[in-house]
Structure 1
Amino acid sequence: MTETHATIPPGTPMFPPGRYGRRREPGRRRPVLTAILLVALVAVLTAISVRLYRQYGDPAYDTQLITYTDITDTQVVVDFRVNLPEGGSAVCLLRARDSAGAEVGREEVAVAAAAGQRQITVRHRLVTDARPFIGEVIRCRPPA
């Protein structure tokens, strides 16, 4: 028996019998597998975010360069402010560069806040190999 237009729902394509093989049933959905993959993806992205935050985003050790002065052929004096956890300490990396941008001095400076103090202003004389053009605070981090 052949199909007639009366038995085919409207909008269904009509294919000649036997010409295109048999039609596949709609695919079976796998909601459990999709949910497991989604949870795994969220866990991986969370782990990456936490690691990057710990490495780069600790606002407790925020620094601000105030000024660099007393530039001579062998030094630059760097004034900077550090936000620390209350009564905490940090190690700050200072750098001096010449007018061409080459590094002429680098030093790590330990700073500590008094009890109840969250912000400390530091003045440090950075010794250089050549005449510096600028003094910088690269970063501050918790002491090792």
Structure 2
Amino acid sequence: MNETHATVAPGAPVFPPGRYGRRREPGRRRPLTAALLAAVLLAGLVLAAWQLYAKYGDPAYDPQLITYTDITDSQVQVTFRVTVPAGGSATCQLRARDRAGAEVGRDEVTVTARPGDTHVTTRHRVATTARPFIGEVLRCRPAA
């Protein structure tokens, strides 16, 4: 079909016939494809949230850094409090970093609450390979 001034909407460009190939009809929408993509995206987000919660989000094992002291060229003392279920145990990861933010020491310590107690305060020495600037409690999780 050739385009003429009668078949072209006003304001639309007029192309010479046979020059630019066949004109396509407007594409039909594919709601199934969009729904499948949305479902895959949602499943990926749920999986990522689940993994992040498992890694960082257990509120029953909540660590709080109290202080870090006794900084030398080869150690830092980290004092922290962790909330655990009564009579339970937690494994906590401690880290020491230098002024530039590089990790210079890491240690894992297991703390156990006394029966009837839910807060455990612990002081632990983290050995380092260089002079640390800060001591941190990365996370605590149920002891295995």
Alignment RMSD (CA, Å): 4.1
Q: Conserved in 2, the CA contact under 8 Å of 1:93 and 1:108?
A: yes
Matches of 1:35 and 1:108, distance apart in 2: 45
CA 1:18–1:118 in 2, change beyond 3 Å: closer, same or farther? same
Identity %: 58
What is residue 81 of structure 2 aligned with on the other side? 81
> Rg larger in 1 or in 2?
1
Q: Conserved in 1, the CA contact under 8 Å of 2:3 and 2:14?
A: no
Compute the TM-score of the two structures, normalised by the length of structure 2.
0.65
- Structure 2: unaligned runs, 5 residues or longer: none
Matches of 2:81 and 2:7, distance apart in 1: 83
Question: Aligned ranges for residues 44-83 of structure 1 at < 5 Å?
Answer: 44-68=44-68, 78-83=78-83
Moved over 6 A (4+): 70-76, 96-99, 132-135
Question: Aligned ranges for residues 1-144 of structure 1 at < 5 Å?
Answer: 5-6=5-6, 8-68=8-68, 78-94=78-94, 103=104, 107-124=107-124, 126=125, 136-139=135-138, 140-144=140-144
CA 1:32–1:133 in 2, change beyond 3 Å: closer, same or farther? closer
Q: Conserved in 1, the CA contact under 8 Å of 2:106 and 2:128?
A: no
Q: Conserved in 2, the CA contact under 8 Å of 1:67 and 1:80?
A: yes
Q: Residues 81-114 of structure 1: CA distance to partner in whole angstroms, max 9, x if unpaired?
A: 1122444310224466899x885x7653321224
Q: Conserved in 2, the CA contact under 8 Å of 1:95 and 1:138?
A: yes
CA 1:32–1:46 in 2, change beyond 3 Å: closer, same or farther? same
Q: Conserved in 2, the CA contact under 8 Å of 1:61 and 1:84?
A: yes
Matches of 2:15 and 2:115, distance apart in 1: 84
CA 1:82–1:45 in 2, change beyond 3 Å: closer, same or farther? same
Compute the TM-score of the two structures, normalised by the length of structure 1.
0.65
- Structure 1: unaligned runs, 5 residues or longer: none
* TM-aligned CA deviation for residue 29 of structure 1: 1.4
Matches of 2:84 and 2:33, distance apart in 1: 46
